Structure 1
Amino acid sequence: MKEDFLHYLWKFKKFDSLNLKTFNGEEITIINVGNYLELAGPDFFNAQLVIGNQKWAGNVEIHLKSSDWYVHHHERDEAYENVILHVVWEHDTEIFRSNNSEIPVLVLKNYVDTATVANYQSLMAPKSWIFCEKQLKDINEFTLKNWQERLFFERLERKSNPIFDLLQQTNNDWEAVLFCLLAKNFGLNTNGEIFLKIAQAIPFSIIRKESFEVENLEALLLGTAGLLDLEKEDAYFKDLKFRYFYLLHKYQIEKRLVEPVQFFKHRPDNFPTIRLSQLANLYHNQQNLFSTISTSNSVKSIYEIFEISVSNYWQNHYQFDKESPKKKKKLSKSFIDLIIINTIIPLQFAFAKSQGKEISEDLIQLLNEVASEKNAILDKFSSFGIKSKNAFESQSLLQLKNEYCNKSRCLQCAIGMELLKKS
């Protein structure tokens, strides 16, 4: 048994609350269980109780055993001086305040229905993947849909935090923030952080000024990535290298060293040379990209924005000096979907939040038009009866698995709570 189960029992009064007595036999009447803040200090703040004939207002601390009070060194912490009731599953020692007055104890296991405990133990029993895997298919659809919406916006909140960090670093330049986010997205998992550093190493004002010549953008991106450091025979390589060092001199940019980009284990269409060329072409073709993207409210319009390919040289190359069959190498629909999920939706959410606007329904509608992602986590959910039909649902399920299932937060999860209620 875990302590958070006792938190759940106390918070929702899932016990015989009409016949409570302290370990010493005094009657307890609960007026208010208190506020569960999950912060440092006592578990429930500002509870109101009647113990014996005395009305109390203060805090409630919860442990599996009374002796956990000393295990956690609460006797040394002034924050626990105002505890008016110690709620435990097992009482194994008396607890005293600093003035030697004894803190009343409620032994909760004496008042909890055995079916509730059995249901909790069934929920938390070891499974092959997640605790509730066998019961998922029985979850009420209304509960699931409401919880998915909450999960989706929790995930958006988390994704928006780095956006606001970037905003501070770029002096509130949303266009520069978008450039950084897109660069990271174009790098995918392997090169994402490296591409982000490349974007941060180039002042966006220079990207704006040089966007009319795609070769200059490619020179800046490939040069910052270290891909122009060696000597190659191709005329295009030599031209880009000349442009890169010219631009460094022109704008007095200090050449920064970033980690080497990775080619290993990538399909050729995901080689960093190809992705950086596509990024350069995007900013060559689209002026004021942030203004366009921040107001895009349909998947079709976003697909049109990202209807780009590589420069002529890269149509028959994947690396310098190595010619390959000609291919336009346009961004695929699945790749653009990833951009929508990981860049455009979080950016629109953060921008609206910064302006105090509410666009929740618009974001959900937009992601309802995007195909569900495909990965092992979503396949597992599908095998247990929870299928994601679109990106809104797949993002919600990823948040569920990563932030709740993996961390055994069943008692903070609407699905776990629903299953416990069935006792």
Structure 2
Amino acid sequence: MNFPEDFLHYVWQFRSFDNNDLTTADGENLKILHQGFLNKNAGPDFNNAKVQLGETVWAGNIEIHIKSSDWLKHNHQSNASYENVILHVVYENDVEIKRIDGSVLPVLELKNRIADALIEKYENLFLTLTDFPCIAQIRHVDKLIVDSFLSRTLVERFEQKTQAVMETLNELNGNWDETFYRFIARNFGFKVNALPFELFAKALPQQIYSKHKNNQLQIEALVFGSAGFLNNKFDGEYPIKLQQEFRFLQKKYNIKPIEVSIWKFMRMRPQNFPTLRLAQFAALIVKSNHLFSKVMEVREVAGLRRLFDDLPVNDYWKTHYHFKSEAVSVSTQIGKTSVDNILLNTVALFLFAYGKHTGTQFYISRAIKLLESLPAEENAIIERFDSANVKIDNAFASQGILQLKKQYCDQKKCLSCGIGIKILKQA
């Protein structure tokens, strides 16, 4: 026997044991009328169960242990919360347990009632050293079951991400526009420069742009100056103009630029340099200030994509990746993969979060539809599941996979996973 108490929770919840001629340890006939509901909070393991002992029907709670003596180890004998336990379910009954009032607690021993094949399958699944326990079995699970659980994990993932949105929203006194601005700025940094972009957005509130929406040079000066890139001496006409504009705007709005040294350039492709991303971000502000309102209005995916197309990036960046030297030819527009990343990680998230916050299913449905229209991410995790014959058609599925891997596979929570449960039921 090599399994934790959680395995017995599974066995009891799904009645995956020999239910014939059940008796308690003292020989009293036992019928399970309802096994109760798994309790994930403090107290007995299952609530609102119903069993028949002899001729009497009892309603109450079920407590489960590997050994009956665990009741004493856990100090349940002195905890009034366990007085309403009507049945003690254990793998091995090694000691008689009494309630606080002195009455003997009925116990069901499962030691000889769980199939060896089920225990072996669980041990093979749970005790494997891999971080993908069911890599060999998942291909045999019905696609409907896999897809159903991925739908659940996708929602879990977005609900968790929504918490971060709500924290920032509260910090900004319910300002959705400013909250969205901070998140999309962070997204523009992608993984490497996400933090610098976030700090930059905090240093330069979105409301300042609106006062200069008809002056592209001033918008660009605000962006590059707040990001810390205008403190050097320049030779070129364009960066000198930016510097002059920012000196005035900095004093006017009391802007404190972030430290330029936190931006990362090393081991990056030039088209991903933060200077070019900042130029694109400034162009997005010029094209669509208060972008959150536009995102909420545009219903079609193609329309959302157009918000990021044909950005009016300054011509200077057609021949520069940064302010230091010229380049032969530079593509100044955001690539399709990057736009997909923004639609997935910011736009879909905010549609979902806004729908949750306001109780409006319409926006949640739009978020789901957007995810279904976006291609699946490409990374090592997705490749492993794909090699195990898990069909991953779109970002909806790939986001569900990432949550499944992080919250279930990595933590060996096979007994809480709909896929893992199905594999065990096939024993």
- TM-score, length basis structure 2: 0.90
Cross-structure match for 1:251: 253
CA offsets per residue over residues 111-130 of structure 1, 9 Å max, x none? 22333323323433516441
Cross-structure match for 2:343: 340
Query: Contact (CA 8 Å) 1:309, 1:329: kept in 2 or not?
Result: no
Q: Which amino acid aligns with 2:164?
A: P
* 1:389 pairs with 2:393: yes
Query: Contact (CA 8 Å) 1:316, 1:323: kept in 2 or not?
Result: yes
Query: Contact (CA 8 Å) 2:221, 2:245: kept in 1 or not?
Result: yes
* Compared CA separation, residues 117 and 239, structure 1 to 2 (3 A): same
CA distance in 2, matches of 1:170, 1:202: 14
Cross-structure match for 1:265: 267
Cross-structure match for 2:182: 180
Pick from 21, 25, 28 the counterpart of residue 27 of structure 2.
Answer: 25
* Compared CA separation, residues 391 and 95, structure 1 to 2 (3 A): same
* 1:318 pairs with 2:321: yes
Task: Report how far residue 160 of structure 1 moved.
Answer: 1.6
Pick from 405, 409, 412 the counterpart of residue 408 of structure 1.
Answer: 412
Cross-structure match for 1:68: 70
CA distance in 2, matches of 1:260, 1:277: 18
Which deviates the most, 233-242 or 411-420?
233-242
* Compared CA separation, residues 40 and 220, structure 1 to 2 (3 A): farther
Q: What pairs with 1:233-252 in structure 2 (closer than 5 Å)?
A: 233-252=235-254
- RMSD of aligned residue pairs (Cα, Å): 2.4
Task: Report how far residue 155 of structure 1 moved.
Answer: 1.7
Cross-structure match for 2:422: 418
SS of residue in 1 equivalent to 2:193 = helix
CA distance in 1, matches of 2:351, 2:254: 34
CA distance in 2, matches of 1:6, 1:344: 42
Query: Contact (CA 8 Å) 1:234, 1:321: kept in 2 or not?
Result: no
Q: Which amino acid aligns with 1:211?
A: K
Task: Report how far residue 319 of structure 1 moved.
Answer: 2.0
CA offsets per residue over residues 60-107 of structure 1, 9 Å max, x none? 222222333344444454433433322222233344444444433222
CA distance in 2, matches of 1:95, 1:258: 67
Any stretches of 5+ residues in structure 2 without a counterpart? none
CA distance in 2, matches of 1:276, 1:256: 14
Task: Report how far residue 250 of structure 1 moved.
Answer: 1.3
CA offsets per residue over residues 218-238 of structure 1, 9 Å max, x none? 333333333334444444333
Query: Contact (CA 8 Å) 1:88, 1:105: kept in 2 or not?
Result: yes
Cross-structure match for 1:157: 159
Which deviates the most, 275-284 or 165-174?
165-174
Query: Contact (CA 8 Å) 2:349, 2:367: kept in 1 or not?
Result: no
Aligned length: 423
Q: What pairs with 1:359-398 in structure 2 (closer than 5 Å)?
A: 359=362, 360-398=364-402
CA distance in 2, matches of 1:365, 1:186: 23
* Compared CA separation, residues 75 and 272, structure 1 to 2 (3 A): farther
Query: Contact (CA 8 Å) 2:321, 2:330: kept in 1 or not?
Result: no
Cross-structure match for 2:332: 329
Which deviates the most, 129-138 or 207-216?
207-216
Pick from 343, 348, 353 the counterpart of residue 350 of structure 1.
Answer: 353
CA offsets per residue over residues 360-414 of structure 1, 9 Å max, x none? 5543333232222110011111111113122222112112111211111112212
Cross-structure match for 2:192: 190
Q: Which amino acid aligns with 2:322?
A: Q
Query: Contact (CA 8 Å) 2:271, 2:331: kept in 1 or not?
Result: no
* Compared CA separation, residues 22 and 234, structure 1 to 2 (3 A): farther
CA offsets per residue over residues 177-219 of structure 1, 9 Å max, x none? 2111111110111221331222123222113223333333333
Q: Which amino acid aligns with 1:398?
A: L
Cross-structure match for 2:146: 144
* Compared CA separation, residues 224 and 3, structure 1 to 2 (3 A): farther
Q: What pairs with 1:276-315 in structure 2 (closer than 5 Å)?
A: 276-307=278-309, 308=311, 310-315=313-318
SS of residue in 1 equivalent to 2:65 = strand
Query: Contact (CA 8 Å) 1:372, 1:390: kept in 2 or not?
Result: yes
Cross-structure match for 1:121: 123
Task: Report how far residue 331 of structure 1 moved.
Answer: 0.3
Task: Report how far residue 347 of structure 1 moved.
Answer: 0.8
SS of residue in 1 equivalent to 2:262 = coil
CA distance in 1, matches of 2:43, 2:211: 54
Task: Report how far residue 52 of structure 1 moved.
Answer: 4.2
* Compared CA separation, residues 73 and 186, structure 1 to 2 (3 A): farther
CA distance in 2, matches of 1:117, 1:100: 35
CA distance in 2, matches of 1:389, 1:408: 25
SS of residue in 1 equivalent to 2:406 = helix
Cross-structure match for 2:84: 82
Query: Contact (CA 8 Å) 1:219, 1:244: kept in 2 or not?
Result: yes
CA distance in 1, matches of 2:350, 2:175: 13
* Compared CA separation, residues 69 and 176, structure 1 to 2 (3 A): same
Cross-structure match for 1:111: 113
CA distance in 2, matches of 1:194, 1:97: 60
* Compared CA separation, residues 54 and 231, structure 1 to 2 (3 A): farther
Which deviates the most, 41-50 or 280-289?
41-50
Q: Which amino acid aligns with 2:43?
A: G
SS of residue in 2 equivalent to 1:15 = coil
SS of residue in 1 equivalent to 2:49 = strand
CA distance in 2, matches of 1:407, 1:282: 40
Identity, % of aligned positions? 37
* Compared CA separation, residues 228 and 97, structure 1 to 2 (3 A): farther
Q: Which amino acid aligns with 1:380?
A: R
Q: Which amino acid aligns with 2:369?
A: Q
Cross-structure match for 1:37: 39
CA distance in 1, matches of 2:58, 2:76: 20
* Compared CA separation, residues 5 and 262, structure 1 to 2 (3 A): same
CA distance in 2, matches of 1:240, 1:299: 35
